[in-house]
């Protein structure tokens, strides 16, 4: 299971890229001029090999090592260059992919504005380091598919290349950061990110060529933040306390500050609730810089709500609007579902670089304590202005005790860092130790067949059951 915390494991070896496709696959050479981008879309089941032959290039702020093959699968991304480069492209031996070269100038690419933002953040970090104060706390917001996670990753990568250790926070439960979907997480990034993945490999029991980042995660278990506003805000507050505590105790992280990624702001009646959540994030994390990506409407709303206000530590809040990168590709629901299933498989069985051996065990119904994540009741107000949650409502509990049933089959359960003897509020607020998978439910014999990443009994740890990530096909078939 993953180890809870905000640190990282020590490096075990020098960074090594994944081997590319076999040499028998077709290979071409792609030359990029300064500020050009090589954009590619690799579906599941295909593997695209890329190697930097000459010049310099980077993916989401992390530089490609010269003459080192990288293998990309199930990804939509881009490689950009500031000074020009030559890439060797190895097409999939089986399967297809889509790729093209974008040819913007320095005046046309938003990457220049992203770089200017990085230098401004770096100056704030240097000033914070001199005075012993807190570095910038940056919140990245925007509509869906605007490139928020890519920008957050890029800013984090550039910061680590400057010797900084930023604390990166993910508040989008639909996508996990260094953990499975359904969680809110935070981790310190002090070393480079594996560019063949989004955020790096999931913490696992095997050795890794690139230092593994260890996230602190809280299980929300629902796809949308307004599915249970009370629980979502509660977990955000718990994550904020842990994050700000790390900043207070670690001078390097304190001066580097925070980078906070968010989910896409919807349109229509649900937007009001999401702006309320953003206000909660700004208050809890003492955000002093808000980056609005790819939407003038969202930028105007954020200016109206936050510009000129002060944080809990006395800093003035600044709202900055940036253009969306043309390299951001829309990811449909089927693609994202495949990504979630791949993350679950990787957590238990590893990937092409490292194979893991999970442990299957039979557990009696009476030996487990399972708590179901409740969804909030639907809004009944006539104006439909989002979901409200009052303490006076009849259904106020965020958790309820659940008995094992066939509904749990093929579900992922979170193992809470708590005891089965703890109160429901304590279990709700506990961080995640790891995950188990319910492979089979035998209602006649009152037994569960559970797949765990390590060969250890669950002990007295309670299990949390939510609707996200959704049911998937049997992992053991």
Strand order in the sheet with 432-442: 359-364, 447-452, 432-442, 412-416, 463-465, 370-373, 399-402
Nearest to 245 by CA among 281, 285, 212: 285
Q: Is 103 annotated as a binding residue?
A: no
146 is in an annotated binding site: yes
Query: Strands (DSSP E) along 235-338, which ranges?
Result: 258-261, 289-293, 318-322
Task: Please state, as a whole number, how many other Cβ atoms lie within 10 Å of the Cβ of residue 281.
Answer: 22
Distance CA 233, CA 59 (A): 33
Range 118-124, long-range pairs (CB < 8 A, 24+ positions):
118/154, 118/155, 118/158, 118/159, 121/155, 121/159, 121/257, 121/289, 122/159, 122/162, 122/164, 124/257
CA distance 336 to 330: 10
Q: Is 233 annotated as a binding residue?
A: no
Give the list of residues 6+ apart from residue 100 with CB closer than 8 angstroms, or none: 39
Q: What is each CA distance from 215 to 92, 170, 173, 369, in whole angstroms?
A: 33, 10, 14, 25
Residue 77, annotated as binding a ligand: no
Token pair of 402 as six digits:
């659940």
Q: Which of 41, 260, 294 is nearest to 144 (CA)?
A: 294
Do the strands 137-141 and 289-293 form a parallel or antiparallel pair, or are they unpaired? Answer: parallel
37 is in an annotated binding site: yes
Give the Cα separation of 213 and 185 in Å (integer).
12
Residue 217 annotated as binding site: no
Query: Is residue 351 annotated as involved in ligand binding?
Result: no
Q: Which residues contact 194 (CB under 8 A, 6 or more apart)?
A: 200, 201, 210
Q: Tell me the DSSP string of 73-99.
A: -SEEEEEE-SS-EEEEEE--SSS--EE
| 402 annotated ligand binder | no
Binding residues for ATP: 37, 76, 145-150
Positions at the binding site = 37, 76, 145-150
């Amino acid at each position: 299971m993953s180890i809870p915390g905000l640190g990282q494991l020590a490096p075990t070896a020098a960074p090594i890229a994944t081997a590319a496709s076999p040499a028998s696959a077709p290979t071409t050479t792609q030359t990029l001029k300064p500020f050009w981008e090589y954009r590619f879309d690799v579906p599941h089941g295909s593997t695209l090999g890329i190697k930097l032959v000459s010049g310099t290039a980077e993916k989401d702020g992390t530089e490609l090592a010269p003459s080192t093959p990288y293998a990309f699968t199930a990804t939509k991304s881009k490689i950009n260059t500031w000074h020009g480069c030559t890439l060797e492209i190895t097409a999939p031996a089986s399967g297809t992919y889509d790729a093209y070269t974008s040819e913007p100038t320095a005046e046309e690419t938003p990457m220049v504005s992203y770089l200017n933002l990085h230098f401004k953040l770096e100056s704030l970090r240097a000033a914070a380091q001199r005075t012993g104060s807190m570095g910038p706390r940056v919140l990245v917001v925007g509509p869906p598919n605007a490139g928020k996670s890519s920008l957050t990753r890029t800013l984090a990568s550039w910061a680590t290349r400057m010797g900084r250790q930023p604390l990166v926070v993910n508040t989008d439960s639909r996508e996990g950061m260094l953990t499975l979907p359904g969680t809110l997480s935070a981790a310190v990034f002090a070393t480079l990110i594996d560019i063949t993945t989004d955020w790096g490999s999931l913490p696992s029991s095997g050795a890794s060529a690139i230092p593994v980042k260890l996230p602190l995660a809280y299980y929300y278990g629902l796809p949308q933040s307004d599915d249970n506003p009370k629980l979502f805000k509660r977990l955000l507050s718990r994550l904020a306390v842990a994050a700000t505590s790390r900043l207070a105790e670690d001078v390097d992280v304190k001066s580097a500050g925070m980078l906070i990624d968010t989910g896409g702001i919807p349109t229509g009646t649900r937007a009001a609730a999401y702006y309320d959540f953003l206000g909660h994030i700004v208050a809890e994390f003492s955000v002093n810089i808000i980056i609005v990506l790819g939407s003038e409407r969202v930028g105007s709303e954020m200016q109206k709500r936050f510009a000129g206000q002060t944080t809990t530590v006395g800093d003035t809040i600044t709202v900055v609007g940036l253009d969306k990168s043309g390299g951001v590709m829309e990811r449909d629901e089927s693609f994202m579902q495949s990504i979630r299933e791949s993350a679950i498989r990787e957590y238990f069985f590893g990937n092409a670089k490292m194979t893991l051996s999970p442990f299957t065990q039979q557990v009696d119904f009476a030996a487990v304590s399972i708590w179901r994540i409740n969804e909030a009741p639907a809004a009944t107000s006539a104006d439909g202005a989002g979901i409200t949650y009052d303490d006076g409502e009849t259904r106020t509990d965020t958790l309820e005790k659940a008995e094992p049933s066939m509904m749990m089959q093929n579900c992922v359960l979170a193992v809470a860092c708590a005891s089965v003897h703890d109160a429901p509020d304590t279990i709700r607020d506990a961080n995640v130790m790891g995950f188990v998978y319910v492979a089979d439910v035998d209602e006649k014999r009152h037994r569960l067949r559970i797949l765990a990443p390590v060969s250890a009994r669950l002990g007295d740890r309670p299990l949390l059951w939510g609707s996200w990530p959704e049911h998937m096909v049997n992992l053991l078939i």
